[in-house]
Amino acid sequence: MIESRYGEYGGTYVPEMLVPALQDVAAGYEKYRNDPGFRAELDDYLKQFVGRPTPLTLSRNMSRKYGFKLYLKREDQAFTGAHKINNTIGQALLAKRMGKTRLIAETGAGQHGVATATAARALGMDCTIFMGEVDIERQKMNVFRMRLLGAEVVAVKNGTRTLKDAISEAMRSWVTCLDDTHYLFGTAYGPHPFPAMVKDFQSVIGREARAQILEQEGDLPACVVACVGGGSNAIGIFSGFLKDEAVRLVGVEAGGCGIDSGKHAARFQGGSKGVLHGSYTYVLQDKYGQISDTHSVSAGLDYAAVGPEHSMLRDIGRAEYSYATDDEALHAFRELGMVEGILPALESSHAVAWAIKNAEELKGKTVIVNLSGRGDKDVYTVAKHMGVDI
Amino acid sequence: MISKGDLKLSEKFDRLKAEGEGALIAYITLGDPSPAESLAIAQSLIDSGAVDVLELGVPFSDPIADGPVIQAAVDRALKAGMNTDLAFEIAGALDKKVPVVYLTYYNIVLQYGIERFAASCSRSGVSGLIVADLPHEESGEVRAACARHGVDYINIVTPNTSEARMRKILDGSSGFVYLVSTMGVTGKRKELSQSLRPVLERAKSAAMETPVAVGFGISGPDHVGDVIGKGADGAIVGSAIVDMIAKGASAGDIKEFVTVLKQATKPVTAFAEKK
């Protein structure tokens, strides 16, 4: 059996109607996760379709400028431009083996929506994506990409009209079509078995990164850094180094306009323990348990709760969690472009920003930043912040 | 004169059963459109004499089991300053002639404190508690706290709950069982599910002595008559009433509506005579 708890965190806090559905998903995952045929098929898709392994690039110019050896794990080079595809291919293959013909998913930045739509097309499945109206507005290009891939995009108009409401709406929709539809959850969050399953499918990042750094550097890194929204890219790369206790693991949350402003998505800064969307973890909420509105310049980090395993890793001190503000992330976005020729996703820019900010402390050390996605989708947002009309 | 027994769910259902009637369970969201107005609406529902059990929603910002009508009510309530403290104030202030139950989501109970929530239910005369996103496997602490404070923990079962699972969930249940009529979220529907009868039979068998009330999609007297006719012990009407509140219906209009609903819980002969 796959564990449904990470210390006190995690669990299955969902309406009864979803319980049999989640039990089915858990049973299917349990059945196939170590099945050699399934793993071979997944590996083949990851290699031939996604383009894995992704490189571990030594960022020469940044290393020279900042005085520490910066490696970038290039998930931006995975097909569709972010790590999300590792999980969507995995779950879609699983869903197909379970006899499902349709995928539904939530999306914030649109990356998970695009990756789900892509997996659906590749495997001949139907696809519906739920996306908050606010996110649709700030990620127009990804919305059109999903439609070009034959996906139906449903605009979610209730609540804060962002990722949180897209998840609620996808859950509400799923219960009406359980027979033929798999809910392809996008991050290492939500009710059991999603945190465990998504971590499994994202752990390829950590496995590759560990082997690559040993090959290229002959040694483990001092530090591994990743941005944390729900936390799937972070748990994916961390998983490769969890047992290497000398390796410092740093998760970087969205500091938005600053913690004091209240306009942020840094759950470990202003949050407390609670339940949202099926999981017990750190949540941004008021004293009565009403979920707070969050803010981040990056839609993919703009969520009120953090993956339950991250809460445990923080409690036991195996990983530490910091944050970068919108301004710091925007600066890092431009810096990596200007210095190294790589435009990172605004989400990943938070991890880059942390490394830049802590350059003094990292001096002479080897650091891996997980570059979870590419920045093409964000050029409009960045232009707007620069006051440029494109 | 109201005795304490009148506020006990089991006694209420027993009495209705003896009279050959089903229970009309009416739902509103506390705080909608404002805390004070929802207190007045709740009181007028009790005073109507038509409502057998009053179900009060304690709002949570992200109600994943609810459809658009109740989501909107929750948004209005939270904007109007509704919170858990006020919910207990309202429950305490009501002149309760019928049992009152709460429906909420787990994070609301958790943040208030599980023990404190159950104790406050007891103190303010709330007879039962329904937690929409707390499945059996996660509900141990809340069930135990409710039992300690004499509050009925009301279990939810759905059309996709297997027979074996229903037995497990409903073992030792109290108050009533909330049977969800159809796969989906709360909200008015034109027609009820064709497969309600076998699901209801399964639930009644698993519930043993505990009454079974049917909710989700029950919008008018035809639906109420239908579910009671199929053997349900009660019918839960929520979104239809919340929708009237949203549209600014008067207390008189709402009272008239629940009176018509109540008639449909009575045996056909009595219904015909009143006509």
Residue A1: is its pLDDT beyond 80? no
Domain ranges of chain B: 4-274
Give the pLDDT score at A299: 87
Question: What is the per-residue DSSP string for A39-85?
Answer: HHHHHHHIIIII-PSPPEEE-HHHHHHHSSEEEEEEGGGSGGGBTHH
Query: Which amino acid would we find at residue B200?
Result: L
d(CA B16, CA A102): 46
Give the pLDDT score at B274: 47
Chain B residues with CB under 8 Å of A285 CB are 107, 111
CA distance A274 to chain B (A): 6
Q: Does B189 touch chain A (CB under 8 A)?
A: no
Give the pLDDT score at B4: 62
Residue A149: is its pLDDT beyond 50? yes
Give the contacts of B124 (CB within 8 A, at least 6 positions apart). Answer: B88, B89, B91, B92
| Average pLDDT score, chain A | 97
- Which of A15, A274, A283 is facing B64, going by the closest CB pair? A15
Strands across the sheet with A223-227, in order?
A: A56-58, A69-74, A366-371, A223-227, A248-256, A319-325
Give the pLDDT score at B149: 98
User: Mean pLDDT of successive 10-residue segments in chain B (275 residues)?
Assistant: 73 96 98 97 98 98 96 97 98 97 98 98 98 97 98 98 97 95 88 88 96 96 96 97 96 96 84 48
**Count of residues making up chain B:** 275
Rg (C-alpha) for chain B, rounded Å, is: 17
Tokens of A353: 């920003």
Q: Does A288 touch chain B (CB under 8 A)?
A: yes
Which residues of A belong to the active site?
84, 106, 372
Contact A14 B68 (CB under 8 A): no
Q: Does B87 touch chain A (CB under 8 A)?
A: no
Give the pLDDT score at B5: 64
Beta bridge partners of B27: B55
Mean pLDDT, to the nearest integer, of A138-151? 93
Q: Where does the pLDDT of residue A117 fall: very low under 50, low under 70, confident under 90, or very high at 90 and above?
A: very high
d(CA B263, CA B275): 10
Report cis status (omega within 30 of 0) of the bond before B221.
no
Q: A189 with A35: CB under 8 angstroms? A: no
Give the pLDDT score at B267: 83
Mean pLDDT, to the nearest integer, of A146-150? 98
Contact A285 B111 (CB under 8 A): yes
Tokens of B212: 């079974």
Chain A residues with CB under 8 Å of B161 CB are 16, 19-20
Looking at chain A, the whole-number percentage of residues with pLDDT higher than 70 is 100
Which residue from B212, B125, B118, B133 is spatially nearest to B173, judged by alpha carbons? B212
Residue B66 among the catalytic residues: yes
Q: What is the CATH number of domain B4-274?
A: 3.20.20.70
Q: Which of B21, B32, B52, B66 is the catalytic position?
A: B66
Q: Does B71 touch chain A (CB under 8 A)?
A: yes
Render the burial of B61-96: b for 16+ CB within 10 Å, e for the rest.
bbbbbbbebbbbbbbbbbebebbbebbbebbeebeb
To probe the interface with B, which of A8, A9, A14, A17 has the most B CB atoms within 10 Å? A17
Q: Does B156 touch chain A (CB under 8 A)?
A: yes
Query: Which amino acid would we find at residue A352?
Result: V
Give the pLDDT score at A145: 96
Task: Count CB atoms within 10 A of the CB of residue B176.
Answer: 28
Give the pLDDT score at B275: 42
Angle at A175 between CA A170 and CA A177, to 5 degrees: 95
Tell me the torsion sign for CA atoms A95, A99, A105, A111: positive
Residue keyed to tokens 């996604």: A50
Indicate the pTM of the whole model.
0.96
